[in-house]
Amino acid sequence: SAVVFPNKISTEQQSLMLVKRLLAVAVSCITYLRGIFPESAYGTRYMDDVCVKILREDKNCPGSTQLVKWMLGCYDALQKKYFNDYWICLQTITECYHFKFKYTHNGPLLDFSSKNNRMDSTITCADTKKASILLIRKIYVLMQNLSPLPNDVCLTMKLFYYDEVTPSDYQPPGFKEGECEGMIFEGEPMYLNVGEVPTPFHMLKVKVTTEKQRMENVDKSILKSGETNVPLHMLRVDRDGEENQDM
């Protein structure tokens, strides 16, 4: 009944399992709070003291079953270390959720110098847990404050790989080769850096792209209710746009 944080993350397998679970929680929260699938397509779990909805296969909801299969394909690419970027797009495009993955090659150290001038730092389990919970709370805040989606919304998913290590003919289960086309928004896009979660072996970073007008309608005052008491100003605007790849 809980998304359990390990007491320690000393192996790559432990890290991989946590990243998989965190990805599942994030995608489930997004689709649940944006009303993509019915209530019956979700189970209730707890992530520390945060109640979350987890997407599951529902025979009465083919869409949720398909998304679960896509997630299993994502896990395959993630385990093989081919996975770079993972985009969930709501066409035409109204919102896009961008998950970026990085793998470390030299053991349990991550280079933070590009962000805040710190040298290599050992990532503790407490660091990972704190970042994970904060990320999910930020997603909750954003999802609950965006305008409702159109009734005819369509969800698509795109995966991007590290070309230098991924076999040219590789496609994870449930996916086929596609064209690397850009995103087209009807309005002016706004890029938000929602957060990032480090482990000793992985880094997961989440960005959201939405129409600027939709964000301008959001009350940017600090929210004080319940568990989602994360200020909206903590969702940093990426002024360099989606091209800012600082990982």
pLDDT in tens, the chain (247 residues): 456 677 778 888 888 888 898 999 999 999 999 999 999 999 998 887 788 899 988 888 999 999 999 999 999 999 998 888 888 887 667 788 999 998 876 543 333 334 443 334 578 888 888 899 899 988 988 887 788 887 888 888 888 888 888 998 899 988 888 776 666 676 778 888 888 998 888 889 998 888 777 765 554 443 333 333 444 444 454 544 443 333 2
- Angle formed at CA 240 by CA 119 and CA 32, multiple of 5 degrees: 90
- Number of C-beta neighbours around residue 153 at 10 A: 15
User: Residue 49 falls within a domain, yes or no?
Assistant: yes
User: Residue 44 falls within a domain, yes or no?
Assistant: yes
CA dist., res. 69 & res. 67, Å (int): 5
- Number of C-beta neighbours around residue 79 at 10 A: 16
Task: Supply the range of the domain harboring residue 150.
Answer: 12-228
CA dist., res. 203 & res. 74, Å (int): 15
AA letter at 121: S
How many structural domains are present in the chain?
1
User: Residue 139 falls within a domain, yes or no?
Assistant: yes
The reported pTM is 0.78
Residue 164: which CATH number? 3.30.900.10
User: Residue 110 falls within a domain, yes or no?
Assistant: yes
User: Residue 235 falls within a domain, yes or no?
Assistant: no
AA letter at 141: V
User: Residue 243 falls within a domain, yes or no?
Assistant: no
CA dist., res. 88 & res. 96, Å (int): 6
User: Residue 66 falls within a domain, yes or no?
Assistant: yes
